[in-house]
Each structure stands twice: as structure tokens, then as C-alpha cells.
């Protein structure tokens, strides 16, 4: 039997009043911010390093049936 090392990671999750996540802050200072449309669907996810460098930026659109 082999084993894999496990590294524990701590993070903080913040929520909006409508219970959608607004952001996650990881222990390394990376912030993952979320934005939603009026229908409370995810439209943007942005990963920013502790030095404010944008690591990833995703934008989402939906068709008439609500599919992403």
C-alpha cells in the first residue's frame, strides 16, 4: 500500500446576502472573487494573487434555456 502526502489548506469563504459565495481567500493570500447576474447565476470568477496579479479570469454567459 502506498500513501500520498496531504497538505492541509485553510481558507475563508464570504457569502452575499442571497447565500451565493462572494469570495474565497486562501492561506497564501489568493482571492477568488465571484460575481452574479440578476438571476443569481455566476457570470464572473477572478483569481487574484496577494500582490494583486490576476491569475485567472473567467466570464460566463448563458443561453435562453439558462445553460452555461
**pLDDT tens track for 57-66:** 999 999 999 8
Per the DSSP assignment, residues forming a β-bridge with 32 are 24, 47
With residue 39 as reference, give the H or E element that holds it.
none
Per the DSSP assignment, residues forming a β-bridge with 15 are 21
Widest Cα–Cα separation across the chain: 51
Report the pLDDT averaged over residues 14-26: 96
C-alpha span between 23 and 39 (Å, rounded): 18
Radius of gyration for the alpha carbons in the chain, expressed in angstroms and rounded: 16
Three cell numbers written together for 23: 469570495
9 pLDDT higher than 90: no
Amino acid at each position: 500500500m502506498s500513501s500520498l502526502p496531504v497538505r492541509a489548506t485553510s481558507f475563508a469563504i464570504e457569502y452575499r446576502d442571497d447565500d451565493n459565495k462572494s469570495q474565497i481567500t486562501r492561506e497564501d493570500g489568493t482571492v477568488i472573487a465571484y460575481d452574479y447576474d440578476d438571476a443569481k447565476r455566476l457570470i464572473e470568477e477572478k483569481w487574484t494573487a496577494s500582490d494583486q496579479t490576476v491569475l485567472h479570469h473567467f466570464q460566463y454567459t448563458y443561453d435562453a434555456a439558462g445553460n452555461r
